[in-house]
Amino acid sequence: MKIVAIIPCRYASKRFEGKPLAPILGKPMIQWVYETAKKADIVSDVVVATDDERIYRYVEGFGGRVLMTAQTHRSGSDRAAEAAQALGLKGQDIVINIQGDQPAFDPRCLSEVVSPLMGDPRLVMSTLVYKITDSAEIKNPNHVKCVFDKENFALYFSRSPIPLGPPAADSKQFDIFKHLGIYAYRKHFLERFAVLGQGTLEAIEKLEQLRAMEHGYRIKVVETRHDSRGVDIPSDIEKLELTLAR
């Protein structure tokens, strides 16, 4: 069984066009993500999947592996599905989807996210959450929140604060978890995911993982101790540079 990391990467973005090539401490973001993923011993290959010639040429230029994919994909998971097919992966192989705007993730996260699939062949998808310690992230819609059941299966993902207590409640009285943009799927499920119709909640929240849940698939949630600061808007880069400089 192979475990391959795929980094879906597109140039066009309403909030931050050209984000993958934005410099962070003198090095474009996509290179940070790629080189961090390569540090994880559990993966046999790391591949960038893009629809843009500029990203393709840059990744090729620093010696990374890159595939050109269609421009019509609805989400990063759909793009990862095309790349997994092009790589000739088998049904039980595992694909780790790493979002290209998380240059500061800890490579140990990749072992964590695949661990449920390694332990239970019936599982088809897993993802990571982190207990929020910065209260500003709770109301920030760029930080997706997640609630899950006692068996650590996701109940819902939202850009809104969940769970939401009464007005007088202090959020410090209960834990709130944010979703980190790292998924693991079995390749056969990723193929199935790519042909499912877009769900109503997926369209409302703009969260692709809700498509799986709306069609009845369960997502195993793994809590990690390693935070991952993403880049959603240009001002996030300065904050991230401070983190990486440390």
Between 218 and 235, residue with greater pLDDT? 218
Instruction: Give the CATH fold of the 3-245 domain.
Output: Spore Coat Polysaccharide Biosynthesis Protein SpsA; Chain A (3.90.550)
Q: What is the mean pLDDT of residues 17-32?
A: 88
pLDDT at 101 over 80: yes
What pLDDT is stored for residue 172 in this prediction? 67
pLDDT at 139 over 90: yes
pLDDT band at 102 (very low <50, low <70, confident <90, very high): confident
What pLDDT is stored for residue 240 in this prediction? 81
pLDDT at 241 over 90: no
β-bridge mates for residue 7, sequence order: 48
Between 109 and 24, residue with greater pLDDT? 109
| Angstrom distance (rounded) from CA 80 to CA 50 | 9
What pLDDT is stored for residue 103 in this prediction? 87
DSSP H helix total and E strand total for the chain: 8, 11
| Angstrom distance (rounded) from CA 246 to CA 244 | 5
Q: Who's near 168: CB < 8 A, 6+ residues apart?
A: none
Contact 67, 47 (CB under 8 A): yes
What pLDDT is stored for residue 170 in this prediction? 61
What pLDDT is stored for residue 168 in this prediction? 58
pLDDT band at 171 (very low <50, low <70, confident <90, very high): low
Contact 190, 121 (CB under 8 A): no
pLDDT at 37 over 80: yes
pLDDT at 135 over 70: yes
| Angstrom distance (rounded) from CA 27 to CA 201 | 36
For 7, the token pair is 């980094």
Contact 189, 196 (CB under 8 A): no
| Angstrom distance (rounded) from CA 190 to CA 75 | 12
Q: Where are the domains of the chain?
A: 3-245
